[in-house]
Structure 1
Amino acid sequence: MTATVAIGEFARLTLLSVKTLRHYHAIELLEPVAVDAGTGYRRYSVDQVEQAHLIRRLRDLDMPLPQIRTVLATTDPADRDAALREHLTRMEAELQRTRDVVASLRALLTVPAAPPKVDYRVEPAFTALTVTEKVDRSGIADWCATTFEQLYVTLLEAGITPGGVAGATYSTEFFTEDNGSVTAYVPLPPGADFVPISGLTVADFPAHRYAVTVHTGAFEDFDRTYGALGSHVAEHDTAVPDEPVRERYLVGPDRTDDPADYRTEVCWPITEGEDE
């Protein structure tokens, strides 16, 4: 017969506090094998020690409790390993993001911002396959990755080669409210005969004049590029506040695995006037 121990002893066996064990019982993550009906005292089987150790390690890796519950309920080792690999991949991505933010912070504190190289041009009118949605600023990277993949796959399946550089337009509310309309687009070649599927739209973009600079590298320093270009426009031009800012992705994740090689044009809408 497998031995059982009181909750205090089980805490010593597993290095999980009594408070934590009570919480795991309450959420049905790690339930005792017996609870005394009169006293409410919990008893745990020593067979549960290994499971408790697994839970503690997964929590040390910041795995959310619902995912831990899924791992524990999985009887297929392959499915369990896949869930663990998925979480480790997310952790590695978050670690890389932390490194990038730290590098960006060091640069902000030690490297003075260089004046932006600003060009002026009128972007010609064009037609593009688009997706427009309200997006939270915190989730824009994931949204763009999913949306541009959808746009490119749709064109590929239709046998249509993109007619230019892909990009996105960002509404004023996206910046002022942390949530606003974003339109991702891939230009269509002239004369393309394409009927969009559900969720996609073929839209015409009118010609417009922009002050333009290029952001090189990952997006942790994107705010500095926006700040430099917007400041330049405020000093030398007249911005159009209700016209969306446009980004053009000259080199992005679809063309390189190294964020240091990313090149993004930021196009600030301005009124007609003399360039300074």
Structure 2
Amino acid sequence: MHTGLTVGEFSRVTHLSIKTLRHYHEVGLLAPAAVDPGTGYRHYSLDQVPTAQVIVRLRNLDMPVADVKAVLAAEDVGTRNELIAAHLARLEDRLAQAQSAVESLRDLLARPAHAAAVEYRTVREQAAIGIRAVVDRQDVVSWWQGALGELHGFTRARGLRTTGPLGGLFASGLVQDERGDALVFVPVEGEVRPVGRIDAVVVPGAELAVAVHRGPLQTIDLTYGDLGTYAARHEIGVDGPLREFYLRGPLDGVDDDDWVTEVGWPIFRADG
């Protein structure tokens, strides 16, 4: 009667090194079928070969050990498949992020040496409706999207007349401290009663150096870099929130490659 495979034999059958098999035993992924109490020698059964093969494939997909354990312990096929599908979805998200990062790097390397065109602009104080919050940097994009949609829906539902494009004000702390004040607004005509997160606001005036960013927000740092470099070289930058105007964006039903955003950097102007 066959008593099982030694660790060396099981290693050859599964193409897993003895070191790896020892590790899988220690972390509770694949325990030997039997361990000799006298010698400590480990023996595996032939029935464990398919389990080892499943573990190899799941680990090759970077599935965490805890998740692999959950898959192996699943009592039914449906539960097992749900766990695997969830991990595959996470991998696809990571792949999409990696592809986006690769494309962004290629765009940067192919970018013309000249910076974005910069113009000076005096922005007057404006009455508006807005949503204001203190936001963590990692949450600012999702917060921004939600605020834009809420303001757009409110403006349409109330039949308000807008007097300018949707815009945003972002404190320097969002970048420097990874948390700071943010305001998304839309200039409107007339008085508006506050509802929920939406409040009447006054957007302060400012002197700005402005450049146009075309494309998704993932690459807007390049335009900010152009403006910041320009302001530093000309020694005209001042403290104050960074400003954006969304001339074409997610509410217009276009691809993010077709978005158009004006970026404003606060400056001191001595030309009157």
Match of 2:257 in 1: 260
After superposition, residues 125-204 of structure 1 pair within 5 angstroms as: 125=126, 126-135=128-137, 140=138, 143-148=139-144, 150-151=146-147, 168-177=168-177, 179-181=178-180, 183=182, 185=184, 187=186, 191-196=191-196, 202=199, 204=201
Q: How many Å separate the matches in 2 of 1:88 and 1:257? A: 29
- In structure 2, the CA distance between the partners of 1:161 and 1:48, relative to structure 1 (3 Å rule), is farther
Q: How many Å separate the matches in 1 of 2:166 and 2:21? A: 52
Match of 2:36 in 1: 36
Structure 2 runs not aligned, ≥5 long: none
Task: From 259, 266, 271, give the equivalent of 2:268.
Answer: 271
Q: How many Å separate the matches in 1 of 2:181 and 2:18? A: 48
Verify the 8 A CA contact 1:2 1:46 in the aligned structure 2. Answer: no
Q: Is the deviation greater in 61-70 or in 253-262?
A: 253-262
Verify the 8 A CA contact 1:2 1:45 in the aligned structure 2. Answer: no
Match of 1:98 in 2: 98
**What is the letter of the counterpart of residue 29 of structure 1?**
L
CA-CA distance at 1:122 after TM superposition: 0.9
Q: Give the SS at the match of 1:265.
A: strand
Verify the 8 A CA contact 1:127 1:188 in the aligned structure 2. Answer: yes
After superposition, residues 73-112 of structure 1 pair within 5 angstroms as: 73-112=73-112
1:182-231 CA-to-partner distances (Å, cap 9, x unmatched) read 526354865443443xxx58473531322222222234543321221112
Q: Given the two structures, how large is their TM-score scaled by the length of structure 2?
A: 0.73
- RMSD over equivalenced CA pairs, Å: 3.8
Q: How many Å separate the matches in 2 of 1:82 and 1:160? A: 44
Verify the 8 A CA contact 1:171 1:245 in the aligned structure 2. Answer: yes
**What is the letter of the counterpart of residue 100 of structure 1?**
S
Q: How many Å separate the matches in 1 of 2:113 and 2:210? A: 17
CA-CA distance at 1:74 after TM superposition: 3.2
Q: Give the SS at the match of 1:133.
A: strand
After superposition, residues 8-87 of structure 1 pair within 5 angstroms as: 8-87=8-87
CA-CA distance at 1:149 after TM superposition: 5.4
Structure 1 runs not aligned, ≥5 long: none
Q: How many Å separate the matches in 1 of 2:114 and 2:103? A: 17
Q: How many Å separate the matches in 2 of 1:62 and 1:257? A: 35
**Higher radius of gyration, 1 or 2:** 2
Q: How many Å separate the matches in 2 of 1:66 and 1:152? A: 39
- In structure 2, the CA distance between the partners of 1:24 and 1:255, relative to structure 1 (3 Å rule), is farther
Question: Sequence identity of aligned pairs in percent?
Answer: 36
Q: Give the SS at the match of 1:87.
A: helix
Q: How many Å separate the matches in 1 of 2:82 and 2:167? A: 34
Task: From 228, 238, 241, give the equivalent of 1:240.
Answer: 238
- In structure 2, the CA distance between the partners of 1:193 and 1:94, relative to structure 1 (3 Å rule), is same
- In structure 2, the CA distance between the partners of 1:80 and 1:130, relative to structure 1 (3 Å rule), is farther
Verify the 8 A CA contact 2:71 2:80 in the aligned structure 1. Answer: yes
**What is the letter of the counterpart of residue 217 of structure 1?**
G
**Aligned length in residues:** 264
Verify the 8 A CA contact 2:11 2:17 in the aligned structure 1. Answer: yes
Q: Does 1:224 align with 2:222?
A: yes
CA-CA distance at 1:252 after TM superposition: 4.4
Q: Give the SS at the match of 1:62.
A: coil
